[in-house]
Structure 1
Amino acid sequence: MSSVSPEPPTTSVTPPGPRVLDVRDLQVSFPGKGWRTPRVEVLHGVSLDIRPGETVGLVGESGSGKTTIGRAVLGLAPVHDGTVEFLGERIEHVTNRRRRRLSRDLQVIFQDPFASLNPSIPVGDTLAEPLHAQGIPGQEARRRVLELLDRVALPADAAQRLPREFSGGQRQRIAIARALAIGPKLIVCDEPVSALDLTTQRTVLDLLLEIQEQTGVAYLFISHDLSVVRYMSHRVNVIHRGHIVESGDAGQVTTAPRHPYTQRLLLSAPVADPAVQRTRRAALDQRRAEENA
C-alpha cells in the first residue's frame, strides 16, 4: 500500500508568467513492423503546458502514451504533427548550436536509478560530466559537485564511490543531483520512484518538493500511481490510449474525477484503510462487470 500522503502541494493555483513548456495538438506515430503495415498512432492531439515552479502530473496505465510524451518533450520521439515549445522555442527546430542550451535548461530523471548511472564511473565524475560539457573548469566543477551532493543529503566522500555502493534511494538521489547540475528550468521525471520501496519513495518525493521550493524548477511528473501524482502535482493530466481524457487541479482530478477512466484509476489505487480498500475493490468489480455486460 502507498505510504504517500494524499495531500497535494499547498499551491494548486497555476502560477503566473510565461510557460516553460507548451505542448499543442501533439501527435506521435511510429512505423509498423512490416513495410505494408500502417503507422501506429501513439499520441492523438495531446496538449498540456507547464509554468515556472509548477509540477504538472501525467498519469496513466502502462502503454497509455505517457512516457512517449516525455520523450517528445526531450526531443527523443518523432513529432508527426503539433508543436512542442520549450522556453518559446520549438523542440524540433533546435539546431546543433542551440542543443547545448537545451540540454542545460531541460533535464530528465529516469525510472531505474541504477541503469541510468554508469556503473564503472565514480559518482563525482558522473556529476561533473554535464558541468564540463558546459565549459565549467575542473576546480569549479569539483566545488559544485560537493554542493550537489550536499543538496541531495549525500556525504562528500560519495564522489569517490561507484554507484553499486549505494542503495536504490541513494542512487536516485545521485540521479537527481545530476539533473540539477546545471540549473535546469524543467525536469522530466519519468516514473522516478516506481523502482523504490514505499518508505524510500516518500523520502525522494519530499526531496524533489524541497528542491522545487528552493530553486523554482518546474517538473513534468510522469507516473502510473495516482497517489504519487496527487502528492507531487499542482495540476494533473490523465492519459488513456494516447488521449488526454481529463485535466485540472490535482485535488479535484484525483479525488472527484469526472471521466470513467480516471474513476477506475482511483478505485484501483491502494489505500491504507482495509475497509476503504474493500469498498473500492467491490465498486471496481461492479464497474468492470457493467462494462463487460
Structure 2
Amino acid sequence: MTSPLLAISDLVTEYPARRRRQKPFRVLHGVSLDVAPGETVGLVGESGSGKTTLGRAVLGLAPVTSGTVHFDGEDISHLSVRERRRVANRVQVIFQDPYTSLNPALTIGDTLAEPLLVQGGERTAVHRRIAELLDRVQLPHDAAARLPREFSGGQRQRVAIARALALEPRLIVCDEPVSALDLPTQARILDLLLEIQETTGVAYLFVSHDLAVVRHISHRVAVMYRGRLVEVGDAEQVTSEPQDPYTRRLLMASPVPDPSRQRRRREERRLLAE
C-alpha cells in the first residue's frame, strides 16, 4: 500500500480569545485526513466549516494547536519560516481570487520568475521555464511581458496555476480556485487542473463549498461541518448517495438546471432541516 503524501492526524486549531477570561476559539476539532501521491481529495463544506483553515494549517498559515501534519514522511506541523521555505518547492497553493493573488505591479514574467530566482535559478533557465509554464496553462508566450490587469479572471487564474507549478510541487492546496469565475470558465480551469495532474502526477487538496465542483475533479471527498469531518469516501458515492444528513443537505443545496428537480431538492432540503 502506498504511503500517503499528506497525513493529517488529530489536528486541532485554536485562536486566542479576544477577551481575557474567554476560552480560545477552536476552529478544528481533531481532524484526520490523508492525500495519496497523485490523488485529489476534495474538502467541502459551508462557510465557517473550517475547510479553509485546514488548508491553511497544511501551508503553515494557521496554527497547529495539537495533532500533526506530515508531508512526505516529515512532520511539518511547527516549521520555522526558514524551514517552511525549504518545503515550499514541494507544497504550493492556488488562492481563490485571481484579482488579488497577483501583484498588479509585476509583469506575468516577473511573477513566474520570482519563486524560481529565490531558489537560485539561472536567468536563461528561468526564462525557458517561464515559456514552459505558459504553454502548460495554455497562455501565449507574449503574456510574460504583460500586467495582470490586461487579462480576464480565468486567464489570471491560469497565471496563478503556472506560478504554483513553477517549482514542480508534489502537492497543491487549491483554496476555492474557481468560485470567483463564471461557470464556463470554471469548467475550463477544472479541466486544465485535471490535465496537469495527468501529466505531472501532482496531488491536490481541493477546498470548495460546491459538491458539483469537487465531484468533477476529486477521487475522494471529505465533508466538513463545524470543524469536524462528518463523511469521507469515494467522490461518486459521497456526491450522489451521501450517508451523513449534513452532506445530504449540501447536495440538496446544489443548483440543477431542471426547475422541477430544483423544486424537489428545495423541499427535500427543508424536510432534512426539520
Deviation at 1:274, TM superposition (A): 1.8
CA RMSD of aligned residues (A): 1.0
Q: Which amino acid aligns with 1:84?
A: V
2-side partners of 1:108 and 1:278: how far apart?
A: 37
Structure 1 stretches of 4+ with a deviation exceeding 6 A read: none
Unaligned runs of 5+ in 1: 1-15
What amino acid is aligned across from residue 95 of structure 2 in structure 1? F
* Cα distance in 2 between the residues matched to 1:107 and 1:249: 25
Deviations 1:204-256 (A, max 9, x none): 00000000000000000000000001111000100000010000100111110
Amino acid at match of 2:184: T
In structure 2, C-alpha distance between the alignment counterparts of 1:93 and 1:59, rounded to whole Å: 25
Q: Is 1:228 the equivalent of 2:213?
A: yes
Aligned AA for 2:132? E
Alignment match, 1:123: 108
Residue 222 of structure 2 is matched in structure 1 by 237
Q: Is the 8 A contact 1:189 1:219 kept in 2?
A: yes
Instruction: For structure 2, list consecutive stretches of 5 or more residues without a partner in the other structure.
Output: none
Q: CA–CA distance in 2 between the matches of 1:172 and 1:166? A: 10
The percent identity for this pair of structures is 64
Pair 1:273–1:103, CA change in 2 (3 A): same
The TM-score with structure 1 as length reference comes to 0.91
Decide which moves more: 84-93 or 39-48: 84-93
Matched, 1:287 2:272: yes
1:100, 1:134 within 8 Å by CA — same for their partners in 2?
no
After the TM superposition, which residues 66-77 of structure 1 pair with which residues of structure 2 at under 5 Å, given as runs?
66-77=51-62
Deviation at 1:109, TM superposition (A): 0.2
Pair 1:129–1:216, CA change in 2 (3 A)? same
Q: What is the 5 A alignment of 1:161-180?
A: 161-180=146-165
For 1:85-126, what per-residue CA distance to the aligned partner results, in whole angstroms no more than 9, with x for missing partners?
011111134355543330000000000011000000000000
Taking the aligned partners of 1:282 and 1:28, their CA distance within structure 2 comes to: 36
Is the Cα contact below 8 Å between 2:45 and 2:223 reproduced in 1?
yes
Among candidates 194, 198, 214, match of residue 209 of structure 1: 194
The answer for the alignment partner of 2:39 in structure 1 is 54
Deviation (angstroms), 1:261: 0.2
Number of residues of Structure 1 aligned to a counterpart in Structure 2: 274
Aligned residues of 1:109 and 1:190 also touching (Cα < 8 A): yes
Corresponding residue for residue 186 of structure 1:
171
2:247 is matched with: 262
Q: Identify which of structures 1 and 2 has the higher relative contact order when contacts are C-alpha pairs closer than 8 Å and 6+ apart.
A: 1
Q: Kindly indicate whether residue 67 of structure 2 is the aligned counterpart of residue 82 of structure 1.
A: yes
